[in-house]
Amino acid sequence: MRFTIKALRELAALGLGLDEDDACDVLAALSRSDFVERLASGTTGSLSPSTRKRVSAMRTNNRVPYRTTRGAMLADDACPRCGKPMREGAGRLKLPVNGEEITVPDATHLRCPSCREVVLRFDDARRLRRRALEIYRKKYGLLSAEEIRSIRERFGLTQASLARLLRLGNNTISRWEAGRNVQTAVMDVLLRMIRDLPGSLEYLRKHAA
């Protein structure tokens, strides 16, 4: 399965709280004919009702089955926009992380020499997202996934209880600790306060309701 960098960027920028695996899952679940049509238009804003249902289910951690239909098939190396053969290479690509455009310098991708469309294979898209998260974390000096887990375990908190204290979604902490997403600078400060400032945890517990 392949999709354009435009599709991945637009879905990542929708602010739905999806991590890279969820985003790839949504795009990969589109029917082949609908998938090709969306790639050609370069848009993901007008998602079909069934896809919107799937996105909504992901936000609530209530997965729903998604059946695809068989449609037009393209050759593996064919550009979805113009149909001409693409070439594999590596270069700079941008991806939104927490509302900011992050440039990944060495992203593997397919590029059409005719219309310049950029296409990512499924695994390449996941690697691109993870590299973008790493760059974002280093840029702002954020706590690592291991450090977040250490803070939580030090105070005997479960992932769910820490999420409630920070008023986050149920799966947010697990995604941070697994490296599937990265915290904002504000959340990073709160985590450091819990670790370094006596009484901050009790304060959060008092005001979490």
Residues 115, 42: Cα–Cα separation, whole Å = 13
Instruction: Give residue 164's pLDDT band: very low, low, confident or very high (50, 70, 90).
Output: very high
Does the pLDDT at position 131 exceed 80? yes
Instruction: Give residue 209's pLDDT band: very low, low, confident or very high (50, 70, 90).
Output: low
Q: What is the pLDDT of residue 170?
A: 84
Q: What is the mean pLDDT of residues 156-168?
A: 94
Does the pLDDT at position 205 exceed 50? yes
- Cα-based torsion angle of the residue sequence 188, 192, 197, 199 in order, rounded to the nearest 10 degrees: 60
CB-based contact 86:39 (threshold 8 Å): no
Q: State the angle between helix axes of 5-12 and 122-140 in degrees (0 to 180), rounded to the nearest 10.
A: 50
- Range with lowest mean pLDDT among 9-23, 44-58, 112-126: 44-58
Identify which of 41-45, 74-78, 120-124 has the greatest average pLDDT: 120-124
Q: How many CB atoms lie within 10 A of CB 165?
A: 19
Q: Which domains does the chain have, with CATH numbers?
A: 2-140 (3.10.20.860), 145-207 (1.10.260)
Q: What is the pLDDT of residue 125?
A: 85
Torsion over CA: 53, 55, 61, 67 (sign): positive
Q: Which residue has 């969820």 as its token pair?
A: 22
Q: What is the pLDDT of residue 43?
A: 42
